[in-house]
Amino acid sequence: MAKTSPGEFVRQVRRETAKVTWPTRKETMIATAMVVMMSFLAAIFFFIADQLMAFAVRLILGIGA
């Protein structure tokens, strides 16, 4: 395996970075909004699931009746 000088490494990195297709600002904003929305929906789902399981456990064990 040939050794690469630091200068050549930096040039290769710049060449590869130029090939990357970067997302537009609009695409980034849409993706961010989708992540926030899905996180919110997941939080609501797990909250409801937790409340239902807690209710079932209380019902089964007879606590809080």
Residue spans of beta strands (DSSP E) within 1-65? none
* DSSP designation for 24: P
**Residue 62 Cα to chain centre, angstroms:** 40
Q: Please state the pTM of the whole predicted model.
A: 0.64
Which residue is listed with tokens 């919110």? 40
Give the tens place of pLDDT for each residue, 8-61: 999 999 999 999 999 999 999 999 999 999 999 999 999 999 999 999 998 888
Handedness of CA 28, 29, 31, 32 (dihedral sign): positive
